[in-house]
Amino acid sequence: MVLKIYLTIALFITFTFYANAQENADPDFHIYLLMGQSNMAGRGEITEEFKNERHSRVLMLKEDNQWVVAQHPLHFDKPSVIGVGPGLSFGIKMAEENPGTKIGLVPTAVGGTSIDLWKPGAFDEKTKTHPYDDALVRIKEAMKSGVIKGVLWHQGESDKDPSNASQYVAKLTTLIERLRTEVNNPELPFVAGELGRFITTSENINKELAKASDKIPYTGVASSEGLVHKGDGTHFDSPSAAKLGERYARQMQRIQSQIISKGKDSQ
């Protein structure tokens, strides 16, 4: 009996949150979640070119949950090494393709995190953060302003050994399903980025991402073909991170077009 009452209250709170968020949200403010580890957070050098990169309709949710015009660096996971990632070029591309909208970017990536740390309650000892739980707080804050339109995911460098990689699709499926439930959208587009092919064992994860894309509806993979590292053998340099962001945008647009076409066909 007590459990039933608890579940009823929890469902009521969840329904009330979504109802209020949707009622106050700007439908023309399209929000994207940036999740994963260091190559999503960005480790590319912020040269003068990238320092000045921005778009008036592309905003970022800062660490203090304030919306400002987006610029590098977007993330704040490890301030001493943070740099250029794929998020801003993705946002600019989406803004150019959708002139009547604002684009919101929600940085949540945490360098060095395995996929096992992207679930409720998981704690990252190195950064003293709860990657998933902290992201969820920011997701809910973002939903007060606009509509969550998709997820960008770049992670796997910490899971590329064969034993972990073999479990990757199952874990990624669970994560995607959980995020879609959190934002109340079973068709929420999800695009994962390939690991840099300069990493010797990157194929262990990249082939799993291809399997996940085939298995899970409304998902895609942004290719890392031809991209290079910044000299450390792990992280994309700034131009490569920017190119990857544009590839994320193309995949996101493809999935969104697929959803729109499906809606028209069902009418």
pLDDT, mean over the chain? 92
Closest CA to 74 of 62, 65, 92: 62
12: pLDDT strictly greater than 60: no
Judge whether 60 and 104 are in contact, CB under 8 Å: yes
Say which CATH number the domain at 238 has: 3.40.50.1110
In a domain, 12, yes or no: no
Residue at 9 is within a domain: no
Q: Is residue 174 one of the residues assigned to a domain? A: yes
Residue 14 within a domain: no
Q: Which stretches of 35-82 are DSSP H helices?
A: 38-41, 48-51
Range of the domain at 234: 28-265
- Residue 158 domain-assigned (yes or no): yes
The string of pLDDT tens digits covering residues 212-260 is 999 999 999 999 999 999 999 999 999 999 999 999 999 999 999 999 9
Number of domains in the chain: 1
Q: Is residue 229 part of a domain?
A: yes
Query: Is 13 a member of any domain?
Result: no
List Cβ neighbours of 175 (8 Å cut-off, separation of 6 or more).
Answer: 115, 118, 119
Contact (CB, 8 A) for 33 and 109 = no
Q: Is residue 18 part of a domain?
A: no
- What pTM value is reported for the model? 0.91
